[in-house]
Structure 1
């Protein structure tokens, strides 16, 4: 791809605006005005403003979410545990504080959901596995503690691919379904968090991301998801998949909502071996910085193998952003093939956590994940090989920022395909010789998301359109270490120039739930 100038993108910007308007005028579009509908349609920022203005209470917001969960979660399987009584009790305490004029911050009274691999004291945390079916942790994970201290109401624990080991289709509690099409995948492994946000079941959610597991559900469900810089948000108290690549971050309806949550989540934890010290930032303020001076890049190969519909929508989004910045050109980033998740898994990093459970309860794992762990157990990796792999990863992370010399941020499709059909994924997993699909290699196409886990740099997905079948498509924006504010600012500018984030899935109380295959 040749370098692209502002002049060359001028026609494309008009195309982007035309495409947006065409979608808004189509029967498939469903936008809602929060002022005229129920409370669950509010964004986190809007709900927060009403809490602070005293025009709504936390109990009202919490009950509205619980009522909607009761209607729609039986169709979506977005939640494993709904914490109704605890959430209402927490909301009552926060309402008393609100009445006394003691607001803890922007998240005061806001119902949020946590991926069910994140510990919640006194509430079971299953990681969507029969192995942990009855596990109740004694302590909160640090991210849980921070959200509670900020006044967030923990409304429930969301579904995921078992132990976050795949693309969302294998869960002890059944696969979560995509609100845009119930027979399609939500993206994994934070499948329930993506579905819950898309269906307005809460105002914010947490996911984890080892090879795309925040951004893929964001893209497939038409919402925002950000994987921050490695170590910026602590992962202690979260069941690990691969500690060297694991991240935790928010999945939300808008970029501003993500920035608000990141303000609470980010910070050093000296007991977390992955945690890094970084000066406190206000990501909401950073999100508002001007973007006209930003130089954008498209990594070589970012569009290789992309579905034509996805490619066109993402290209149109990039064309629009080119008119708002200094322009876009093709750029080169280092290869991550040698330090991908599959390499670390084969070197035993995933099995290191599961060994104690697998030896005693291997039959309680989902069949496809059991096969993966059996394969990893059988490899008997050499310590020398693993150490060399870690050296390569550390070198990559120390040098990746050097690639950002004459560009500030990079752009590409989050996923190169739209959400796959769940039955296709389940059918593949029922084959006795297959291993699970990772989050970064969902059925039907590949992705570049996992590279940014290896780089350890911030990466965000924002909705940028819909396929002709009505399935969401995501644009991914990434930058060097600790460039979250720039990434958020560019995503926010795009969001403000388009209307994709206002679209709502067509699910209704009468929507029929299609059956899923259970055997071949």
Structure 2
């Protein structure tokens, strides 16, 4: 019997609205696929089987589905975002907080759009790390299970890349949407500051964090962003001729992109030129002060979230205990300053004006994703060095509060996907999605990792 596993969110919602399939059937198909597949990947922390089916039935009972852009679409929520009736795990049992009495606002918006919450996906403890694991499991990349799916939204990325859900909620404080998107060959948009309600932890990681989605298509990313931002989904039009600046310069001194990531930027530049855009070199100036600002803010964010949640530092993993202790020290000594973050934001916005560019193109990663391993048992220093060596390009744009998107552009020689990052000035989310749509049209990517979804006949939506 055909299944809707592997269909896009847009296809599923259209099928449910037309009556081609029930939300209940779609959800049941995906729950079966999760049961057959997730033991190998550890994408989900908890699956809401019976509850999800009951919620799908409520979607089916509605008389008018025309106003639901995600009608019957199975979705996963990152485990640091409140889902009513579930604990908020925050990446480990040691960081878990009480059962939530109400949904977070972004979860409420997803449900209001017709989405059905299948469960919550795994993340690194307190969202601090670019790999996803804890004492109970290591989340693995569907493209190569010996490699990480990234972090902190590693479970969300693994779930979409394996077809466990067509779309997954995630959030991004220093790259936690874009890094997993690059690792797993997905589209990952970090909206600009204030585009969607955040309300994470103590103070949204000092304003650096934003909610978004991970998807396998640009069209699904548009729908997901629109729902989270509380706006009507717009039909994307190819952007007018743009001036695109390209840069390989790394924000971290001594860390340079490897050959496949350099080649990805060159290939992306050629694709954009084919689409009619003007391509030119434009290097941001990443000062040592920016690196210190980012490091201090990252350290302090963990300490602030721990204090806000009333957690005991002794319950955390060794790497996180060390991180929080350093964050408390940074806060006490005044190294976390709003003025520093504002200065970088102002300089970043001015960068687009000074270079007369509309979009900046950079690598998404600097190296192949690290091994999938028990990083939670390794030292803080080991985790720090691994993170900055493979994923230095995302963090500056959180500090600046600018929108940024990761888009797949091919594969590395080892078979893993390779991606690029596009950054734009404030309010350019739809422009970035439009450019991503041109990538998808000119050079389509594999929507799922090879071999996924497993044992699933072709979806009716794709026939």
CA–CA separation in structure 1 for the residues paired with 2:154 and 2:448: 19
- CA shift, 1:446, in A, is 4.3
Cα shift readout 1:250-293 (whole Å, capped 9, x = no counterpart): 111111101101111014xxxxxxxxxxxx5x5532xx223341
Q: Secondary structure at the match of 2:67?
A: coil
Q: Secondary structure at the match of 1:63?
A: helix
CA–CA separation in structure 1 for the residues paired with 2:453 and 2:45: 21
The answer on whether the counterparts of 2:68 and 2:112 sit within 8 Å (CA) in structure 1 is no
Aligned position for 1:419: 369
CA–CA separation in structure 1 for the residues paired with 2:453 and 2:447: 17
The answer on whether the counterparts of 2:164 and 2:453 sit within 8 Å (CA) in structure 1 is no
Cα shift readout 1:114-134 (whole Å, capped 9, x = no counterpart): 000000111222112223446
Aligned position for 1:390: 338
| 1:83 is aligned to 2:48 | yes
Aligned counterpart for 1:262 among listed residues 219, 225, 229: 225
Alignment of 1:168-179 (within 5 A): 168-179=131-142
Cα shift readout 1:65-113 (whole Å, capped 9, x = no counterpart): 100100111010000010111111110000011xx23443211111111
Aligned position for 1:215: 178
Aligned counterpart for 1:373 among listed residues 313, 320, 324: 324
- CA shift, 1:326, in A, is 2.7
Aligned position for 1:442: 387
| 1:342 is aligned to 2:289 | no
The answer on whether the counterparts of 1:90 and 1:153 sit within 8 Å (CA) in structure 2 is yes
Aligned position for 2:423: 478
Aligned position for 1:488: 433
Deviates more, 1:208-217 or 1:326-335: 326-335
CA–CA separation in structure 1 for the residues paired with 2:326 and 2:288: 20
Identify if the C-alpha distance between structure 1 residues 337 and 205 changes in structure 2 by more than 3 Å, giving closer, same or farther.
farther
CA–CA separation in structure 2 for the residues paired with 1:150 and 1:192: 23
| 1:455 is aligned to 2:400 | yes
Cα shift readout 1:24-64 (whole Å, capped 9, x = no counterpart): xxxxxxxxxxxx96311111111122112210111111011
CA–CA separation in structure 2 for the residues paired with 1:101 and 1:245: 38
The alignment's TM-score, normalised by the length of structure 2, stands at 0.90
Alignment of 1:135-174 (within 5 A): 135-174=98-137
- CA shift, 1:333, in A, is 2.7
The answer on whether the counterparts of 2:161 and 2:447 sit within 8 Å (CA) in structure 1 is no
Instruction: Structure 2 unaligned segments of length 5 or more: list them.
Output: 456-463
- CA shift, 1:211, in A, is 1.1
Aligned counterpart for 2:34 among listed residues 69, 85, 98: 69
CA–CA separation in structure 2 for the residues paired with 1:61 and 1:239: 37
- CA shift, 1:397, in A, is 2.3
CA–CA separation in structure 2 for the residues paired with 1:488 and 1:163: 29
Aligned position for 2:261: 310
Identify if the C-alpha distance between structure 1 residues 204 and 485 changes in structure 2 by more than 3 Å, giving closer, same or farther.
same
The answer on whether the counterparts of 2:76 and 2:119 sit within 8 Å (CA) in structure 1 is yes
Deviates more, 1:235-244 or 1:70-79: 235-244
CA–CA separation in structure 2 for the residues paired with 1:108 and 1:38: 17
CA–CA separation in structure 2 for the residues paired with 1:363 and 1:302: 35
Q: Secondary structure at the match of 2:207?
A: coil
| 1:401 is aligned to 2:353 | no
The answer on whether the counterparts of 2:191 and 2:210 sit within 8 Å (CA) in structure 1 is yes
Aligned position for 2:461: none
Q: Secondary structure at the match of 2:381?
A: coil
Identify if the C-alpha distance between structure 1 residues 121 and 308 changes in structure 2 by more than 3 Å, giving closer, same or farther.
same
The answer on whether the counterparts of 1:165 and 1:241 sit within 8 Å (CA) in structure 2 is no
Identify if the C-alpha distance between structure 1 residues 460 and 356 changes in structure 2 by more than 3 Å, giving closer, same or farther.
closer
CA–CA separation in structure 2 for the residues paired with 1:390 and 1:508: 45
The answer on whether the counterparts of 2:163 and 2:448 sit within 8 Å (CA) in structure 1 is no
The alignment's TM-score, normalised by the length of structure 1, stands at 0.80
Identify if the C-alpha distance between structure 1 residues 447 and 289 changes in structure 2 by more than 3 Å, giving closer, same or farther.
same
Cα shift readout 1:481-519 (whole Å, capped 9, x = no counterpart): 010111000000110111214453335769xxxxxxxxx
CA–CA separation in structure 2 for the residues paired with 1:491 and 1:435: 34
- CA shift, 1:354, in A, is 1.0
CA–CA separation in structure 1 for the residues paired with 2:80 and 2:226: 22
CA–CA separation in structure 1 for the residues paired with 2:64 and 2:379: 60
| 1:92 is aligned to 2:57 | yes
- CA shift, 1:435, in A, is 5.6
Identify if the C-alpha distance between structure 1 residues 147 and 509 changes in structure 2 by more than 3 Å, giving closer, same or farther.
closer
Deviates more, 1:443-452 or 1:361-370: 443-452
Q: Secondary structure at the match of 1:311?
A: helix
